[in-house]
């Protein structure tokens, strides 16, 4: 199966090819505004990129370290609210006067700004908190779960339960969170004199830069020694412990990095959508993230990113087209079922199999035209 002549370098070649693919993706997303001059479309694409980012974060914890965090939307939502809070406070002087409160607090008869809103008057603090709060929460939660050696489906249940609790809390505390309505009517984000209008190239580029940095950073993590150990933990947790590693510390690290990236994505989502809502931290979103990840390939960061972009894009396109107006949910479900049945490693797995097929038969490349992608995909499916 593995001829000895090829065993010297395939890993290195694969790594180079992988890096090239990641860089090509980053260049491609930066190139999009060159071809599209429609601010409405750019806003929509920026939204998809943000969703790609949160799916990528889940791939890091689920696909690499084997931690199925069903509360990924909690990190996302916390980031989103952190950004919304600071942007809301910026509107206070215009809406309710210099000594006023955010408008929804006035409607709810709140008289002074609650203590936990005060630091959000600084945008820098909000940006810090949008990453640090989800990070710290995941680290604390991870400490309890992984020190207690809770694994597998129980991790999924606990994280899901905490998400539900947080969601109810946010909806219930309308006086401080805007309840069902969320926090709306926000100012524009301004960093160092740069304004980020949701419907402009600047916001798109902000999102694209954050996604690129996080994607490449996460790739570096997966290639580090710790990344290798994450994967070893995913395969055989007990064995890693007997090599002398503190498995809990590694799992806490994987989960908290993932949460921090999700928090950043949440902040960007508020900038792109121009509001924050409890639906940004609810169960349907969290499950969608898992589906994006599975469709794209949870063991590939780029796969998960593209999975989210493709599925969210299709959701958008299908739900707006006249033909699928009533049936788009069914179509999405069908696609998900097909992927799970035939492509256990998602779209990335399909590419992987096709690539391996080509590499294993160098003659096929030189001899005739490479097989059409659909054909090799079909063969790959047959193999599974």
Partner 1 sequence: MTEHLHIEGLGVEFNGFKAVNDLNLSVAQGELRCLIGPNGAGKTTTLDLICGKTRPMHGSIRYRGREIARLPEFQIARAGIGRKFQVPSVFRQLTVRENLEVAHCKHISVYTNILRSGRSAESDGLEKLAAFVDLSDYFEAPASVLSHGQTQWLEIALLLAQDSELILLDEPAAGMTHQETQKTADICNRLKGKHTIIVVEHDMGFVRQIAQVVSVMHQGTLLMEGTVEEISRDQRVREVYLGSTLGI
Q: Which parts of this chain interact with partner 1 (CB under 8 A)?
A: 1-2, 4, 7-8, 10-11, 221, 223-229, 231-232, 234-236, 238-247, 249-250, 253
> Nearest to residue 79, comparing CAs of 136, 132, 156?
132
Q: Which residues pair with 276 in a beta bridge?
A: 183
Distance of closest approach, residue 346 Cβ to partner 1, in angstroms:
15
Distance of closest approach, residue 249 Cβ to partner 1, in angstroms:
5
Estimate to the nearest angstrom the gap between the alpha carbon of 29 and the chain centroid: 16
Q: Please say which residue, 33 or 346, places its beta carbon nearer to partner 1.
A: 346
Distance of closest approach, residue 332 Cβ to partner 1, in angstroms:
29
Please enumerate in sequence order all residues whose Cβ is within 8 A of that of 100, keeping only pairs 6 or more positions apart, or say none: 92, 93, 106
Q: Please say which residue, 228 or 330, places its beta carbon nearer to partner 1.
A: 228
Q: Please say which residue, 13 or 209, places its beta carbon nearer to partner 1.
A: 13
Query: Could you give the CA distance from residue 166 to residue 282 in angstroms, rounded to a whole number?
Result: 9
Q: Residue 190 has what DSSP assignment?
A: E
Distance of closest approach, residue 123 Cβ to partner 1, in angstroms:
29
Distance of closest approach, residue 350 Cβ to partner 1, in angstroms:
17
Q: Please say which residue, 10 or 152, places its beta carbon nearer to partner 1.
A: 10
The Cβ of residue 16 has, within 10 Å, a number of other Cβ atoms equal to 11
Q: Please say which residue, 7 or 109, places its beta carbon nearer to partner 1.
A: 7
Please enumerate in sequence order all residues whose Cβ is within 8 A of that of 225, keeping only pairs 6 or more positions apart, or say none: none
Q: Please say which residue, 8 or 372, places its beta carbon nearer to partner 1.
A: 8
3-state SS class at 194: strand
Distance of closest approach, residue 359 Cβ to partner 1, in angstroms:
12
Half-sphere exposure of 225 (CA within 13 A, CB side): 1
Query: Could you give the CA distance from residue 40 to residue 186 in angstroms, rounded to a whole number?
Result: 18
Please enumerate in sequence order all residues whose Cβ is within 8 A of that of 190, keeping only pairs 6 or more positions apart, or say none: 123, 196
Q: Which residues pair with 191 in a beta bridge?
A: 194
Distance of closest approach, residue 1 Cβ to partner 1, in angstroms:
6
Q: Please say which residue, 4 or 109, places its beta carbon nearer to partner 1.
A: 4
Q: Which residues pair with 378 in a beta bridge?
A: none
Query: Could you give the CA distance from residue 176 to residue 200 in angstroms, rounded to a whole number?
Result: 30
Q: Which residues pair with 190 in a beta bridge?
A: 195
């Amino acid at each position: 199966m593995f001829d000895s002549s090829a065993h010297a370098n395939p890993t290195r070649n694969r790594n180079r090819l992988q890096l090239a693919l990641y860089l090509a993706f980053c260049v491609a997303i930066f190139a999009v505004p060159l071809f599209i001059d429609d601010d409405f479309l750019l806003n929509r694409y920026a939204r998809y990129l943000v969703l790609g980012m949160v799916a990528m974060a889940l791939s890091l914890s689920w696909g690499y370290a084997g931690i199925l965090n069903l509360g990924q939307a909690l990190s996302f939502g916390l980031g989103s609210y952190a950004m919304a809070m600071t942007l809301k406070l910026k509107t206070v002087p215009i809406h309710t006067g210099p000594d006023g409160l955010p408008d929804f607090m006035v409607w709810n008869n709140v008289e002074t700004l609650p203590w936990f809103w005060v630091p959000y008057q600084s945008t820098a603090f909000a940006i810090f908190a949008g990453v640090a709060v989800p990070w710290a929460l995941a680290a604390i939660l991870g400490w309890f779960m992984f020190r207690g050696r809770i694994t597998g489906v129980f991790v999924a249940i606990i994280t899901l339960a905490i998400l539900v609790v947080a969601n109810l809390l946010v909806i219930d505390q309308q006086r401080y969170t805007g309840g069902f309505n969320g926090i709306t009517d926000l100012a524009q984000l301004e960093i160092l004199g740069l304004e980020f209008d949701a419907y402009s190239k600047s916001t798109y580029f902000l999102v694209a830069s954050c996604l690129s940095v996080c994607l490449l950073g996460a790739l570096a993590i997966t290639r580090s020694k710790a990344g290798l150990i994450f994967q070893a933990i995913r395969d055989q947790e007990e064995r890693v412990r007997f090599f002398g590693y503190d498995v809990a510390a590694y799992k806490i690290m994987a989960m908290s990095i993932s949460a921090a990236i999700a928090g950043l994505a949440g902040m960007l989502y508020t900038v792109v959508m121009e509001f924050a809502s409890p639906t940004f931290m609810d169960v349907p979103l969290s499950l969608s993230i898992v589906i994006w990840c599975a469709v794209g390939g949870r063991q590939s960061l780029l796969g998960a990113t593209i999975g989210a972009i493709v599925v969210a894009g299709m959701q958008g396109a299908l739900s707006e087209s006249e033909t699928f107006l009533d049936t788009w949910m069914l179509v999405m479900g069908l696609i998900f079922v097909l992927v799970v049945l035939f492509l256990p490693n998602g779209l990335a797995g399909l590419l992987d199999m096709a690539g391996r097929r080509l590499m294993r038969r160098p003659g096929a490349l030189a001899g005739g035209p490479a097989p059409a992608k659909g054909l090799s995909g079909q063969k790959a499916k047959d193999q599974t």
